[in-house]
Amino acid sequence: LEGRGLPGAEPDEAGAERWLKESAGQGFYRAMVGLAVLCARRERAEEALSWLRRAAEQRADPEVLFALGMNYLHGTLSAAKDADLAAEWLGGAAEMGHPAAQAQLGLLLLSGADGGGGEGASGAELWLRRAHEQGSFDAATALAGRYLRGGRVGELGGLVVGGLRRAGHVSSKWSWR
């Protein structure tokens, strides 16, 4: 029964790992993600990162690319912090429509990371706009901040600030012009 959650069955991580490896060997990215989680839980961080990278390379699920990008951004799972690699993986997830990746990529590009795309501040604005259009509060606040500091966000800045004001996140006594 190998830990299938049936009454009386004991969890069997070794058995689970064996089946996940067999499935991952056939190219199933979800099995690779499962192995990444299992290895991380067992404090085998480098192996977890390797499985997560292999799953992300298939570009089948934006959440996997986002997770890998965030690992590089924060230096977890034994990955050294690398803003450019983070931007590269977050960019892949962002292109697949992942709103949190779009917001994070926009913020990362504002901070000067490149990811090989050479997008800079104009790319940051594009990704923040896309994330905002999908309801990302982080993107909305970043756009509002750029608007308040005189960054080039045009009419969208006013719309974002207006939306934040209506939602109660920004005081209406502040001047926006």
Query: Are 76 and 46 contacting, i.e. CB atoms less than 8 angstroms apart?
Result: no
Q: What does the pLDDT read at residue 7?
A: 73
Residue 43 has pLDDT above 80, yes or no: yes
For the chain, what is the largest distance between any 2 Cα atoms, rounded to a whole number of angstroms?
A: 67
Whether pLDDT at 172 is above 50:
no
pLDDT score for 6: 67
Alpha carbon 93 to chain centroid, angstroms = 7
CB neighbours (10 Å) of residue 111? 10
Beta strands in 74-175 (DSSP E): none
The set of residues, in sequence order, having a beta carbon less than 8 Å from that of 11 and lying 6+ positions away, is 3
Model pLDDT for residues 70-87, shown as the tens digit of each residue: 999 999 987 789 998 999
The predicted model scores a pTM of 0.77
Token pair for 93: 């997830």
Helix (H) and strand (E) counts for the chain? Answer: 9, 0
Beta strands (DSSP E) in the chain are none
Residue scoring higher pLDDT (137 or 147): 137
Whether 52 contacts 89, CB under 8 Å: no
pLDDT at 90 over 70: yes
Q: Which pLDDT band, with edges at 50, 70 and 90, does 174 fall under?
A: very low
Task: Give 50's contacts (C-beta < 8 A, 6+ positions apart).
Answer: none
Instruction: Report whether 53 contacts 42 (CB < 8 A).
Output: no
